[in-house]
């Protein structure tokens, strides 16, 4: 009797996460979270299933959900995409409790990745960031990510200044509209990221006060000031870009008018010359037509007409 071959069971993939523990505080960092990681968190922590689903969502708005033993937070921070030349949002989800901090993100936020690696290899960094509780550690992470926004804002400012110089200097005027459109899209995307973050960061300190061993109100106030400064800069850039767009339209219209004016002058001057050439090209007897100097005579008439019209246009300040 033949027996059916055994089907080899597919091994379950282990969740990919990294953890750092110092004293009684553990920081678990998960890059590129999948269902395996959220299932692991559901088995080992009392997290709400909807919060775990939000960790995998790409359209979740920044928020703070408060529970009895922990907080669930969602942040969005800007990341500049060099391929499409626009700032996109990167989501960071965090669970914070008395003795743990869990961060889930895509791994494209360099300050967060660098801070975790720093705490992995340096004992002094672990003591500094972990010694004041999970709330202090969360503040350090968010503060670094907020400061990471400043170079991106400065980069946008430099691009605006470069485009402004090109427009007023008349260099690359035909391509300026593309640069203005890219800058406008970049600023709009950045503002869409920062606007909901202002409310979340502004209300963060009272929520995590129970997870810190020191008073963090001054530190969070400084971080809120940084966020407000970023928003004010983006608001200013928005107005500058709108002004540049109006300036470009004015310069383009003025250039078109200059071209049309010169073409009109040339056409007006050519009209009587064409009439003279047409008349002397007719097959009828005309004065000096039989003379060998007829060509010079016609040419002289044309020069007189051109000179007289140019003088008249100059007197009228049309040219």
User: What is the rounded distance in angstroms from the CA atom of residue 150 to the CA atom of residue 127?
Assistant: 27
Q: pLDDT by residue (tens digit) across 238-268?
A: 999 988 888 888 877 888 888 888 888 888 8
* Predicted confidence (pLDDT) at residue 5 exceeds the cutoff of 50: no
Residue 171: per-residue pLDDT: 60
Of 252, 272, 307, the residue at which a domain comes to its end is: 252
User: What is the rounded distance in angstroms from the CA atom of residue 21 to the CA atom of residue 105?
Assistant: 19
Q: pLDDT by residue (tens digit) across 23-65?
A: 889 999 999 999 999 999 999 999 999 999 999 887 788 999 9
* Predicted confidence (pLDDT) at residue 12 exceeds the cutoff of 70: no
Give 118: exposed, middle or buried? Use CB within 10 Å, 0-12, 13-18, 19+.
middle
* Predicted confidence (pLDDT) at residue 173 exceeds the cutoff of 90: no
User: What is the rounded distance in angstroms from the CA atom of residue 79 to the CA atom of residue 73?
Assistant: 19
Residue 246 sits in the same domain as residue 269: no
User: What is the rounded distance in angstroms from the CA atom of residue 101 to the CA atom of residue 103?
Assistant: 7
Structure confidence at residue 289 as a pLDDT band (50, 70, 90): low
User: What is the rounded distance in angstroms from the CA atom of residue 199 to the CA atom of residue 64?
Assistant: 10
Residue 165 sits in the same domain as residue 308: no
Q: Angle at the Cα of 117 (from 112 to 119), degrees rounded to 5?
A: 95
Structure confidence at residue 284 as a pLDDT band (50, 70, 90): low
Q: Among 6-15, 40-49, 186-195, 218-227, whose mean pLDDT is lowest?
A: 6-15
Residue 252: per-residue pLDDT: 77
* Predicted confidence (pLDDT) at residue 139 exceeds the cutoff of 90: yes
Residue 213 sits in the same domain as residue 169: yes
Residue 78 sits in the same domain as residue 175: yes
Average of per-residue pLDDT across 282-299: 69
Residue 39 sits in the same domain as residue 78: yes
Structure confidence at residue 144 as a pLDDT band (50, 70, 90): very high
Of 213, 237, 252, the residue at which a domain comes to its end is: 252
Of 252, 276, 291, the residue at which a domain comes to its end is: 252
Average of per-residue pLDDT across 299-309: 83
Residue 124 sits in the same domain as residue 183: yes
User: What is the rounded distance in angstroms from the CA atom of residue 99 to the CA atom of residue 19?
Assistant: 13
Residue 41 sits in the same domain as residue 188: yes
Q: Is residue 2 part of a domain?
A: no
Structure confidence at residue 7 as a pLDDT band (50, 70, 90): very low
**How far is it between the farthest Cα atoms of the chain?**
126
Residue 23 sits in the same domain as residue 136: yes
Residue 151 sits in the same domain as residue 241: yes
User: What is the rounded distance in angstroms from the CA atom of residue 203 to the CA atom of residue 65?
Assistant: 12
Q: Is residue 12 part of a domain?
A: no
Residue 262 sits in which domain range? Answer: 257-315
Residue 309 sits in the same domain as residue 195: no
Q: pLDDT by residue (tens digit) across 175-190?
A: 678 888 888 888 998 9
The DSSP string of 48-81 is: -HHHHHHHH-SSPPPEEEE-SS-EEEEEEEEEEE
Output the domain CATH number for residue 28: 3.30.460.20
The number of domains in the chain is: 2
Residue 101: per-residue pLDDT: 95
Residue 263: per-residue pLDDT: 84
Edge-first strand listing for the sheet containing 71-81: 18-22, 25-31, 100-105, 86-96, 71-81, 63-66
Residue 221 sits in the same domain as residue 278: no
Q: Read off the pTM.
A: 0.77
Residue 11: per-residue pLDDT: 41
Q: Is residue 133 part of a domain?
A: yes
Cα-Cα-Cα-Cα dihedral of 237, 243, 245, 249, to 10°?
-170
Q: Is residue 5 part of a domain?
A: no
* Predicted confidence (pLDDT) at residue 102 exceeds the cutoff of 90: yes
Q: Is residue 9 part of a domain?
A: no
Q: For strand 71-81 and strand 63-66, is the pairing parallel, antiparallel, or unpaired?
A: antiparallel
Residue 177 sits in the same domain as residue 286: no
* Predicted confidence (pLDDT) at residue 170 exceeds the cutoff of 70: no
User: What is the rounded distance in angstroms from the CA atom of residue 86 to the CA atom of residue 96?
Assistant: 32
**DSSP H helical segments within 122-203, as ranges?**
123-130, 134-169, 173-202
Q: Is residue 1 part of a domain?
A: no
8 Å CB contact between 116 and 18: yes
């Amino acid at each position: 009797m033949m027996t059916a071959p055994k089907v080899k069971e597919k091994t379950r993939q282990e969740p990919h996460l990294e953890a750092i523990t110092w004293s009684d505080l553990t920081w678990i960092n998960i890059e590129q979270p999948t269902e395996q990681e959220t299932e692991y968190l559901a088995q080992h922590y009392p997290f709400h299933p909807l919060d775990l689903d939000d960790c995998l969502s790409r359209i979740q708005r920044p928020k703070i959900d408060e529970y009895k033993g922990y907080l669930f937070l969602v942040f969005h921070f800007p990341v500049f995409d060099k391929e499409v030349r626009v700032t996109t949002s990167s989501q960071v989800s965090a669970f914070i409790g008395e003795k743990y901090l869990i961060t889930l993100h895509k791994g494209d936020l360099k300050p967060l990745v660098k801070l975790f690696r720093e705490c992995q290899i340096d004992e002094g960094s672990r003591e500094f960031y972990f010694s004041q509780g999970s709330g202090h550690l969360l503040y350090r992470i968010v503060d670094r990510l907020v400061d990471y926004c400043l170079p991106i804002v400065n980069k946008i400012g430099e691009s605006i200044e470069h485009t402004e110089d090109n427009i007023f200097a008349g260099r690359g005027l035909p391509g300026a509209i593309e640069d203005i459109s890219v800058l406008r899209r970049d600023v709009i995307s950045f503002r869409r990221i920062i606007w909901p973050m202002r409310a979340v960061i502004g209300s963060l300190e009272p929520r995590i006060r129970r997870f810190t061993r020191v008073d963090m109100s001054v530190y969070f106030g400084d971080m809120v000031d940084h966020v407000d400064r970023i928003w004010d800069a983006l608001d200013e850039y928005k107005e500058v870009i709108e002004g540049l767009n109006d300036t470009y339209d004015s310069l383009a219209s003025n250039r078109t008018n200059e071209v049309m004016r010169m073409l009109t002058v040339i056409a007006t001057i050519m009209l009587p010359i064409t009439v003279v050439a047409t008349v002397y090209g007719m097959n009828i007897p005309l004065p000096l037509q039989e003379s060998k100097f007829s060509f010079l005579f016609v040419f002289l008439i044309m020069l007189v007409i051109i000179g007289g019209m140019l003088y008249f246009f100059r007197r009228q300040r049309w040219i």
